[in-house]
């Protein structure tokens, strides 16, 4: 009965807050409408300069083939390599293709011309992938036999046949939404009551720790449930992407992550005296959790010592399980170890949160 009235108080406070209801609506919409487009690791629109030292029909065919490729933006032909390099230094182009003299003659004689591909590798990923794309075009033109061998190799893309990066990113974006809704908001709510002094009125009542904490967290769990539904609808309505597996598993994983973030946020609020302190502490840990989770880069590419941190990172378990369910169509048998890890970490953090909360009576 006490919990009922405390929950009513929390929902009344949220409703009377002029900012929170708008944030709850706008944040998931912005994440789902903007992030899948900008958080894209695909390499496209590589600006290419060409230096044609041969000026033959064969070399111009190669130039036109580069110009017609959808992955490249043809910047034009430059008279010398130095002029093309100047464009890279001024960030107006990304790569240079230098066609040597006697390119056409070497092709006629059956030789392989030595075409130079120079790429701006300040962004290592873009430089390496862009130069690989250009090398494939050059090899296909210079060595038809190599192209024919390549055409005999069939490639089958499983689960994501269109290689759509948005299908890969959208399940992981749920972690960012859950982090704000169930981590930051309850933390700032409790610390805000500390600063206002209203939490002391609860502390001197016979309300138990568990009742008070549940009253603080349950509203944000309900909000998280609503936000997950909004994200699923936006994913379907905007991108035509729906989970290949059970939607019930999506909600289960979201609620388990909510248990962790809400417990972690409560721990931070218990040890923080001001709003500024809580914000900085939460930001420090949240950035580490997200960057080391596999949200942006494969965890297997990390140094081994850093990779070991994924075994205690609940966000890593969540993202891996979400991608398994949403992309591969996995069932509970496919993600049971991630579910157990999330549940174990969440319960451990919740017990710490209750123990660290200090009540006056």
- Identify which of 139, 140, 133, 112 has the alpha carbon closest to the alpha carbon of residue 69: 133
Residues ≥6 apart with Cβ < 8 Å to 189? 13, 216
At residue 149, the pLDDT reads 46
CATH number of 46-151: 3.40.1710.10
Q: Is residue 221 within 8 Å of 9, Cβ to Cβ?
A: no
At residue 314, the pLDDT reads 93
Residues ≥6 apart with Cβ < 8 Å to 82? none
- C-alpha pair distances (Å), 334 with each of 249, 295, 320, 328: 11, 20, 11, 10
How far is CA 107 from its chain centroid? 45
Q: Is residue 310 within 8 Å of 293, Cβ to Cβ?
A: yes
Look-up of token digits 């949403």? 326
Please give the Cα distance from 168 to 296 (Å, whole number). 10
Please give the Cα distance from 131 to 102 (Å, whole number). 23
**Encoded tokens for 261:** 């973030």
Question: What's the DSSP call for residue 311?
Answer: G
At residue 152, the pLDDT reads 54
Q: Is residue 301 within 8 Å of 145, Cβ to Cβ?
A: no
- Identify which of 202, 174, 176 has the alpha carbon closest to the alpha carbon of residue 189: 202
Q: Report if pTM > 0.75.
A: yes
Q: What is the 3-state secondary structure (H, E, C) of 17-48?
A: CCCHHHHHHHHHHHHHHHHHHHCCCCCCCEEE
Paired with 73 in beta bridges are: 47
Strand order, beta sheet including 95-99: 72-77, 46-52, 95-99, 116-119
How crowded is the C-beta side of 76, counted as CA atoms within 13 Å? 9
The contacts found for 25-31 with CB under 8 angstroms, 24 or more apart, are 25/230, 27/177, 27/180, 27/181, 27/227, 28/177, 28/227, 28/230, 28/231, 28/234, 29/230, 29/234, 31/173, 31/176, 31/177, 31/231
Sign of the CA dihedral with 334 first, then 351, 13, and 182 last: negative
- C-alpha pair distances (Å), 269 with each of 144, 191, 197, 202, 205: 66, 6, 14, 16, 20
Give ∠ CA 208-209-214 in degrees, rounded to 5: 105
pLDDT by residue for the chain (361 residues), tens only, comes to 677 877 887 788 778 877 878 888 888 888 888 888 877 777 788 899 999 888 888 888 888 888 888 888 888 899 999 999 898 888 888 899 998 888 888 888 877 788 888 888 887 777 888 888 888 888 877 665 544 545 556 667 778 777 778 888 888 889 888 888 888 888 887 787 777 777 766 666 777 777 777 887 888 888 888 889 999 999 999 988 889 889 999 999 999 999 999 889 888 888 888 888 888 888 899 888 888 888 877 788 788 888 888 899 999 999 999 999 998 888 898 899 999 999 999 999 988 888 887 765 4
* Domain residue spans of the chain: 2-39+161-356, 46-151
What is the helix (H) or strand (E) element at residue 81, kind and residue range?
helix 81-89
């Amino acid at each position: 009965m006490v919990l009922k009235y405390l929950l009513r108080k929390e929902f009344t406070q949220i409703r009377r807050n002029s900012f929170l209801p708008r944030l709850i609506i706008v944040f998931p919409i912005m994440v789902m409408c903007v992030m899948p487009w900008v958080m894209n690791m695909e390499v496209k629109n590589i600006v290419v300069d060409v230096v044609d030292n041969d000026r033959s029909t064969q070399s111009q065919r190669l130039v036109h083939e580069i110009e017609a490729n959808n992955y490249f933006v043809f910047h034009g032909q430059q008279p010398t390599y130095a002029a093309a390099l100047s464009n890279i230094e001024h960030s107006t182009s990304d790569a240079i293709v230098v066609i040597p003299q006697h390119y056409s003659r070497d092709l006629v004689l059956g030789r392989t011309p030595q075409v130079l591909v120079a790429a701006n590798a300040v962004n290592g990923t873009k430089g390496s992938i862009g130069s690989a794309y250009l090398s494939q075009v050059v090899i296909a033109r210079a060595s038809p036999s190599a192209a024919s061998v390549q055409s005999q190799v069939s490639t089958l893309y499983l689960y994501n046949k269109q290689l759509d990066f948005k299908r890969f990113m959208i399940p992981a974006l749920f972690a960012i939404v859950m982090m704000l809704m169930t981590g930051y908001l309850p933390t700032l709510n409790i610390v805000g009551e500390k600063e206002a002094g209203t939490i002391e009125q609860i502390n001197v009542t016979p309300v138990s720790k568990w009742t008070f904490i549940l009253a603080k967290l349950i509203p944000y769990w309900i909000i998280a449930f609503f936000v997950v539904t909004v994200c699923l609808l936006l994913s379907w309505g905007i991108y035509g992407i729906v989970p290949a597996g059970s939607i019930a598993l999506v909600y289960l994983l979201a609620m388990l992550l909510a248990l962790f973030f809400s417990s972690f946020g409560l721990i931070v609020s218990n040890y923080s005296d001001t709003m500024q302190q809580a914000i900085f502490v939460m930001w420090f840990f949240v950035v580490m959790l997200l960057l080391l989770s596999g949200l942006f880069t494969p965890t297997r590419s990390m140094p081994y010592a850093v990779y070991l941190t994924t075994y205690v990172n609940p966000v890593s378990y969540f993202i891996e399980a979400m991608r398994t369910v949403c992309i591969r169509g996995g069932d509970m048998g496919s993600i049971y170890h991630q579910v157990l890890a999330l549940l174990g970490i969440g319960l451990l953090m919740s017990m710490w949160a209750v123990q660290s909360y200090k009540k006056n009576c």
